[in-house]
Amino acid sequence: MNKIVNPEPLFNDEFVGEPPAKRVLGHVQAKREQGAAVAGIYCGYAPMELIHAMNIVPAVLCAFSNAQIEAAEEHLPANLCPLIKSSYGFVIRDTCPFYAVSDVVIAETTCDGKKKMFELMSHIRPLYVMDLPQVPEEKEAREEWKSMILKVQSFMEKHTGKNTTEEKIEASIKDTNRKNALMRKIFGFAAMQPPVVSWAELYDVIFIAMAAKGEEINPRLEDIIVKLEKRVESGYFHGDLKSPRVMVTGCPVGGDALKIFKIVEEMGGVVVALDSCTGMKAFMDDISEDTGDPVGAIAERYLRIPCSCMTPNSRRLTTMDKIIENFKPDAVVDFVLHACHSYNIESYKVGEHVKNKHNIPFLKVVTDYSDGDVEQIKTRVQALFESI
């Protein structure tokens, strides 16, 4: 197979070469100027479909910079998770442009550190902390989470003056499902052997699509699919034919945490599956349509997200089984942030599952946002590849 070079960029506009955050910020600011409100969000449990149905633009808040941690440690413990410290540092330094344009902030109880951080920042912007049920299989969980979604709806109505209807929420659900289907089709190009799309391209598409309204982003996604199909026809592929295929799972990856993807590729691998918290998870499932209870359907779907805050989190293993079957990785890397106890503890179960059921090499990397351990991680990734 001959490899062509310089494939057409997936995004062709004035933002080529710019970080995806710049594109998203421009979109958020334009929507705000047109009369929409803005809701800052931190987590994939924020009910996007409700937010969109209320003519509110969700903006994913900044959380991945090592530069903000020193300021945060003036108030927070040094041994706290870097994601929490970075999030807080951006707020108290007023350096997150998405936070600056947010009318409200939606938070969630995915970990104790975040809950207490939200208390410290609650006086700066109107903020609502959604109490997330963490035993999702219990029959009460769906109604509890539905109640939380309705409460955050009332909160947003109060602070933004926006409202919605069940019909609009149902339309938003269908819009999301169409977007998710297109995203899964794009992920399929990474599942090819060899892949025809890079992790960096996938990350950009995920970042841009994560909070985007389907009717606005779907034409772009359809255009990306056409470009990827042309790559297949022309013989383009990413990496080398013998590059080890890697699935990265675990904690959220972005900003300075992207070092794990960069190291994998520098050591000769290709990242084909982004199973980390900020990766493909948000797009891998659909919301039930035309149920007569759209908020309940949203609640049910979000409780299926296999975050490590859930217990027992058996769905993470069954989800990984499907990803491994479809993307056929040669190795799995579990990316764990310092002091993220739920992901750290769960890593043992994940590692045993990957090794015993799938007979795939597994590497757990515990790190932060600094670059002090980059060489050490490189050595460990190299050893991982040598074991394949």
The pLDDT-based confidence of 23 (bands split at 50, 70, 90) is confident
What are the C-alpha distances in Å from 201 to residues 265, 328, 340, 358? 13, 19, 27, 28
- Token pair recorded at residue 5: 């070079």
Q: What is 145-204 written as a DSSP string?
A: HHHHHHHHHHHHHHHH-----HHHHHHHHHHHHHHHHHHHHHHHHHHSSS-SS-HHHHHH
Classify domain 167-386 by CATH number: 3.40.50.11900
Confidence (pTM): 0.95
Q: What is the C-alpha separation between 214 and 115, in angstroms, rounded?
A: 30
Please give the share of the chain, as a percent, with pLDDT higher than 90: 93
Instruction: Note the pLDDT of residue 208.
Output: 92
Say whether pLDDT at 15 is over 60. Answer: no
Q: What is the C-alpha separation between 305 and 277, in angstroms, rounded?
A: 9
Residue 327, helix vs strand vs coil: helix
Say whether pLDDT at 388 is over 70. Answer: yes
Instruction: Note the pLDDT of residue 1.
Output: 46
Average per-residue pLDDT for the chain: 95
Q: Could you identify the residue written with the tokens 């992790």?
A: 199
pLDDT, tens digit (0-9, with 9 covering 90-100), for 328-346? 999 999 999 999 999 999 9
Say whether pLDDT at 68 is over 80. Answer: yes
What is the Cα 318 distance to its own chain's centre? 19
Instruction: Note the pLDDT of residue 16.
Output: 54
pLDDT, tens digit (0-9, with 9 covering 90-100), for 97-112? 999 999 999 999 999 9
Q: What is the C-alpha separation between 381 and 363, in angstroms, rounded?
A: 8
312 upstream amide cis, omega within 30 of 0: yes
Q: State the pairing for strand pair 331-337/245-250.
A: parallel
pLDDT, tens digit (0-9, with 9 covering 90-100), for 226-269? 999 999 999 999 999 999 999 999 999 999 999 999 999 999 99
Say whether pLDDT at 37 is over 70. Answer: yes
Residues of the chain with CATH 3.40.50.11890: 20-164
Instruction: Note the pLDDT of residue 21.
Output: 85
pLDDT, tens digit (0-9, with 9 covering 90-100), for 339-370? 999 999 999 999 999 999 999 999 999 999 99
* Fold classification of 20-164 (topology level): Rossmann fold (3.40.50)
Q: Where are the alpha helices (DSSP H) in the chain?
A: 20-33, 48-53, 69-72, 82-93, 97-100, 112-121, 139-160, 166-191, 199-210, 214-234, 259-266, 294-302, 314-327, 341-358, 374-386
- Token pair recorded at residue 220: 């772009």
Residues of the chain with CATH 3.40.50.11900: 167-386
The pLDDT-based confidence of 10 (bands split at 50, 70, 90) is confident
Residue 154, classified by CB atoms within 10 Å of its CB into exposed (0-12), middle (13-18) or buried (19+), is exposed
The pLDDT-based confidence of 20 (bands split at 50, 70, 90) is confident
Instruction: Note the pLDDT of residue 4.
Output: 58
Instruction: Note the pLDDT of residue 22.
Output: 84
Listed in sequence order, the residues at least 6 apart from 223 whose beta carbon sits closer than 8 Å to its beta carbon are none
Beta-bridge partners for 39: 58, 104
pLDDT mean over 200-228: 94
Instruction: Note the pLDDT of residue 13.
Output: 59
pLDDT, tens digit (0-9, with 9 covering 90-100), for 140-169? 999 999 999 999 999 999 999 999 999 999
